[in-house]
């Protein structure tokens, strides 16, 4: 089984953890036992989501998990198309630089950290997958490269 963690975006992480920190400061943080327990739960919950997103490729299946919970199981032979996406819709991805996986029965957005290896592994199991993912940045401007790096 091959396990790929989610890419983590500086922009998305700054926003998520910044909002939590701001609310923590505004509410007074650990002012009593109830608030302390509430904040410990909130920090733990968000940390499990942020650090626990992973994509597991088996012999026939792609499992997408968040912490101990399997979000979806996809038969790799049913994947028809993969394309680049920057769609900010909620998904099991800790980055805005994503892959849109289209398969029989739906589609899902993910953001594997080792994207090239992830795509090669899927393609080795199902050579019929059409992949439209451009990762070439050599002709892009410095601004475009910077934006890609924080997504």
Tens digits of residue pLDDT in 122-132: 999 999 999 99
Give the pairing type, strands 61-66 and 53-57.
antiparallel
Across 99-111, average pLDDT: 96
pLDDT at residue number 23: 94
pLDDT at residue number 130: 96
CATH topology of domain 2-150: PH-domain like (2.30.29)
> Three-state SS string across 56-114, please?
EECCCEEEEEECCEEEEEEEHHHEEEEEEECCCCCCCCCCCCEEEEEECCEEEEECECC
The pTM of this model reads: 0.84
Of the pLDDT bands very low, low, confident and very high (cuts 50, 70, 90), residue 140 is low
Smallest CA-to-CA distance from 57 within 135, 136, 110 is with 110
For residues 116 and 137, the model is more confident at: 116
Of the pLDDT bands very low, low, confident and very high (cuts 50, 70, 90), residue 46 is very high
Across 96-115, average pLDDT: 95
**By percentage, how much of the chain surpasses pLDDT 70?**
94
Of the pLDDT bands very low, low, confident and very high (cuts 50, 70, 90), residue 135 is low
For residues 54 and 135, the model is more confident at: 54
Q: What are phi and psi of 37, to 5 degrees?
A: -65, -40
pLDDT at residue number 43: 95
Of the pLDDT bands very low, low, confident and very high (cuts 50, 70, 90), residue 137 is low
pLDDT higher than threshold 60 for residue 146 = yes
């Amino acid at each position: 089984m091959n396990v790929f963690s989610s890419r983590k975006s500086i922009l998305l992480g700054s926003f998520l953890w910044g909002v939590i920190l701001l609310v923590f400061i505004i509410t007074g943080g650990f002012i009593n036992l109830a608030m302390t327990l509430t904040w410990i739960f909130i920090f733990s919950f968000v940390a499990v989501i942020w650090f626990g997103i992973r994509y597991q490729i088996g012999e026939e299946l792609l499992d997408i998990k968040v912490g101990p919970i399997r979000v979806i199981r996809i038969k790799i032979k049913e994947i028809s198309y993969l394309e680049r996406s920057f769609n900010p819709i909620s998904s099991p991805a800790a980055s805005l630089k994503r892959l849109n996986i289209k398969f029989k029965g739906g589609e899902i957005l993910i953001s594997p950290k080792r994207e090239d290896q992830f795509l090669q592994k899927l393609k080795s199991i199902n050579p019929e997958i059409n992949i439209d993912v451009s990762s070439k940045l050599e002709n892009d401007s410095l601004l475009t490269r910077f934006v890609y790096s924080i997504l």
